[in-house]
Amino acid sequence: MTNEPTSKTVEQAPGAARVFYKQPELLTVEEHSKLGLDRSNRPFDFCSAVRAVPLTAVEMNIMQRHCPIIFSSVEEPSLLAVVGVVDDVNLFVDEQGRWEAGVYIPAYLRCHPFALVTHTDEDFAVAVDMAATTVAENGPQPIFDGQELSAPVKESVEHCARFDAQAKLTAEFCNRLAELDLLIGQELSLAPEAGAEETVVAKYVAVDFRKLEALDAETLQKLHRDGTLAAIYAHRFSLDTWRHLLERRIQRKKKA
């Protein structure tokens, strides 16, 4: 980890933009030596009021069981796991800010409150979200051990590095679909409440399977060999979970 730049604010560093990070700062022993973590303190509050979270392509196979996997746009797509419908409520985070047991937690969310800030191809710094509920002065799990990051935090930083590597591969996957003109806007109509009439509850971007089937054999073979086709079908199977997601919303509103 580099010691530069010394600026406290992450916004001044290239590659620092991260969703759900409300108060990111470059982590330094000079500024943050007394900080600690409390992973039990509402650990997923930071993503409790959202409908979708970033996902990597390697996670699609496991995430397809739990929720729809969609794309952010047709022209410049990124990969998203849908965690809420109709309202800005993450249906996998409970009132105590905990993720539902037995449901896969996307790697991006497990990076929080840390993130890597890239300066060059070989140089990076660590950022910490000072607004995170899990970060506190003199928290039970110290962030620093002397002048170095503590062992648990080093593990978190390594996880961030693995996520960033997978995020680059995912961007290539999404760009490949855009280049092949395989993405299309969709609308989902379902009854938002029990007994209500069907209405549009979601607008999203998905693979156009008619265009996929119209591709030439050589292109399809390439997509099969590099794993793109398998990821596309994980996306397709995930769309069957829209109704399950809406049922989650209905059940949560009943308990409210």
Q: How confident is the model at residue 253 (pLDDT cuts 50, 70, 90)?
A: confident
CA-to-CA distance for 3 and 120, rounded, in angstroms? 13
Please state the pTM of the whole predicted model.
0.90
Strands (E), the chain: 24-26, 35-37, 52-54, 69-71, 79-82, 114-118, 124-129, 135-137, 141-142, 144-145, 148-149, 183-190, 199-207
Question: How does residue 90 score in pLDDT terms, banded at 50, 70 and 90?
Answer: very high
Q: How far apart are CA 46 and CA 56, in angstroms?
A: 19
- Model pLDDT for residues 127-176, shown as the tens digit of each residue: 999 999 999 999 999 999 999 999 999 999 999 999 999 999 999 999 99
Mean pLDDT for all residues in the chain: 91
Give the pair of three-digit tokens for residue 130: 């000072």
Domain ranges, ordered by start, for the chain: 10-255
Q: In this model, does residue 16 exceed pLDDT 50? A: no
Task: State the Cα–Cα distance between residues 80 and 56, nearest whole angstrom.
Answer: 8
